[in-house]
Amino acid sequence: MRITLALVAVCGVVLVAPPAAGAKTWRGKTAQDRPVMVRTSGDGLVKRVRISWRAKCRKGNYTSTTSFVPPFDASTTATFEDEGSYSVDLRRGLRARHTAFLSGSLDAKGVWRGTFRVRTRVTRNGRFVDSCRLKGERWSAKEG
């Protein structure tokens, strides 16, 4: 009976506990003046990064937003790094395949800073249409 009461008491504490105090959101801009958002969980690890970007293509520009979520390739409470690929269906039968890389570190002033790069290959029915690239775009985000 004591074990049951102890489990009920622990479950009750867990259910009424407030959200993690360490969860925070940082907002900022890239060097292109596009929005960046970094969100951490209660343990201080990054749980989401969203970055807007514009890449130069052979036939114009490509504008998009990319989100990064765990598991990251590397992650501590002061640094993170991730790389991956994803595809997006566009209008008129076009498809974009993005390979993106993002890194960031939390400086002594509490500002996240890092770089972002992306390569994009645009196809229609599997045939190459265009390629785009953004090299080493710097970004920063402050809490708030």
Beta strand ranges found along the chain (DSSP E): 24-30, 35-40, 46-57, 60-68, 74-75, 79-89, 94-106, 112-124, 127-143
CA neighbor of 65 nearest in space, from 48, 45, 44: 48
Determine the distance from the C-alpha atom of residue 69 to the mean position of all C-alpha atoms in its chain, rounded to a whole number: 6
- Domain over 21-143 is classified CATH 3.30.420: no
C-alpha span between 36 and 59 (Å, rounded): 26
pLDDT confidence band for 89 (50 / 70 / 90): very high
pLDDT at 4: 38
Mean pLDDT of 9-13: 39
The pTM of this model reads 0.82
Tens-place pLDDT, residues 110-133: 999 999 999 999 999 999 999 999
Evaluate if residue 27 carries a pLDDT over 70.
yes
pLDDT at 126: 95
